[in-house]
Each structure stands twice: as structure tokens, then as C-alpha cells.
Amino acid sequence: MTSTSDTDLTRDAFLGGKLHLWQPRRGYRAGVDPVLLAASVPAKAGQSVLDLGCGVGAAALCLGARVPGLRLLGVERQAGYAALAARNGLDVVTADLKGLPFAVREQSFDHVLANPPYFDRGAGHSAEDPGREGALGIDTPLADWVDVAARRLAYKGHLHMIHRVERVPDILAAAAGRLGSFQIWPLCPRAGKPAELVIFRARKSGRAEFRLHAPVILHQGAAHVADRDSYRPEIQSVLRDGAPLFD
């Protein structure tokens, strides 16, 4: 179980210090991915947002820092991470996404965020730290994440997900018949390099044609040459200033 003792935690700055989050010193720690996910959401003040598997609340709270006036709710099954999300200022429910309490199931949301575990533990090795394993190792199928998101979305609401590029076929298969207006933005580490992650967006009752957008290039230069920040200026603006990822 994740410790919530201050000696086992760090308080880390996000969005250039606009947001500070308590995180475990060891184990799974939120990094760039939830910040990019939050930056991809075109939310407007007054809308509602559900963050499935919210961890310490990084994605939802980064979105809230950029767009004031949102109603934010997180769901996190690991009690230690849920406690940290609450301490960080997020309204959070401790529950497995397939066992949501009635108080959540009776609500609908304009946006659902998801940063599901990336790795199938049936084809790899589990992490020693249980918090990190819970965040990175899949034991809830992607189809269940999409199913729960679709059920909780309001009419014309959007699902926003960040995941590994090799899981795109699984995401599309899970969303087919449940959601529409699919859009994908490949996230490439550098120009000329293959995408490693994607941002996926879908709409409830959406009917628009599938769109594969131009790649989003994260770093400058052809290769990593020094131990320093090499993000492109527009990505630095997302990570440091809270700018939106897309126009």
C-alpha cells in the first residue's frame, strides 16, 4: 500500500509551479503523460470531468489549473493514491472502475479522461512496487475502460485517452459501436522517429469520419545529446505554462 506519511512523499511542481502535487517518493510517480492528456482536452468552464484511474490527480488537476470552473471527479482504486489525490485537492472516490458506487453511476460527464496502464502483464514482468504495478500493469482490459467511460459520458461528451501506439487496434475495437468521431494524434519523441504514444479522442453519439492527425513532435533535434530539457517550444509551453496541446 502507498504510504501517505510526509517522509515517504515529495511535493512536486507541475505547469511551471502553477500546481503542486504530493506523490510517493518511490513507486509510480506522475510525469509528462497526464499533463499532455490534460492539455488535449478542450473543456470549458462549467463542464464536468471524470478522471478514471486518477492516481494522485495529475491529469484532472492540470486540466483544472488551465480551465477554471470545471467540476472534477477522480476514481482511483488504490487507497493510498486516492488519499493523495484528495490531499492534492481533487474530489475522489476510492473504487474499482468496474465497481463504481451508485453516486458515480448516476452521474454523466462532458469529458472522461483515462491514462490506463500501458503494459499487459500476461506478456511481461510485474513491478516490485505494488503502486507502480497497479499504475503500469494491466489487469483490467482496455475494453472495460472504454465501456465504463462510454457509460459515464453525457450525450455528445468526449473520451480522451493516452496510451501506447501498439494498443490503438484494441482501443478502436473497444470503442466501435459505443463511441464515434474517432481522432488520433501520434506523439513522436523526435522528428523522423516513430510514435510511441497516442492521444485518442472519441465522442458519444459522434458521427464524424475518423481523423488521423499529423504527429506531435515532443523534442528538438535528431537525438538525445545531453542531460537537459530538449522539448520543443510549443511542448514546453504545454508543460510549463499550461497551454493547450492542440488549437
- State pLDDT tens for residues 119-138: 764 554 544 545 444 444 45
Q: Is residue 131 part of a domain?
A: yes
- The lowest-confidence range among 5-14, 101-110, 171-180 is 5-14
Task: Note whether residue 231 is domain-resident.
Answer: yes
Q: Please report whether residue 108 resides in a domain.
A: yes
Structural domains in the chain (count): 1
Average of per-residue pLDDT across 6-16: 94
Q: What are phi and psi of 135, to 5 degrees?
A: -85, -30
Find, among 208, 160, 157, the residue nearest to 185 by Cα.
160
Residue whose C-alpha cell is 522517429? 193
**Four-point Cα dihedral 90, 94, 99, 102, nearest 10:** -60
pLDDT digits (tens, 9 = 90+) for 68-94: 999 999 999 999 999 999 999 999 999
The dihedrals phi and psi of 163, each to the nearest 5 degrees, come to -160, 175
- If you compute the radius of gyration of the chain from its CA atoms, what whole number of angstroms results? 17
Strand 197-203 relative to strand 153-164: parallel, antiparallel, unpaired? antiparallel
In a domain, 25, yes or no: yes
Asked if residue 67 is part of any domain, the answer here is yes
Return the DSSP state at 5.
-
Within-domain flag for 1: no
Q: Considering only CA atoms, which of 32, 126, 109 is closest in space to residue 75?
A: 109
Q: pLDDT at residue 95 above 80?
A: yes
Residue type present at position 42: P
- Report whether 144 contacts 98 (CB < 8 A): yes
CB 2 within 8 A of CB 81: yes
**What residue numbers bound the domain in which 122 lies?**
6-241
Taking a C-beta distance cutoff of 8 angstroms, is the pair 215, 235 a contact? Answer: no
**What CA–CA distance (Å, rounded) separates 191 from 189?**
7
Closest by Cα among 126, 215, 206, 209 to 165:
215
DSSP one-letter code for 54: -
The answer to whether 61 and 88 are in contact (CB under 8 A) is: yes
Name 120's bridge partners. Answer: 138
In a domain, 246, yes or no: no
Tell me what the mean pLDDT of segment 168-173 comes to: 98
Q: Is residue 247 part of a domain?
A: no
List the CATH number of the domain containing 50. Answer: 3.40.50.150
To which residue does cell 490534460 refer? 38
Candidates 130, 121, 163; CA nearest to 145 is 163
Show the CA angle centred on residue 101, arms to residues 130 and 172, nearest 5°.
Answer: 70
221 pLDDT tier (thresholds 50, 70, 90): confident
Nearest CA among 241, 237, 244, 170 for reference residue 200: 170
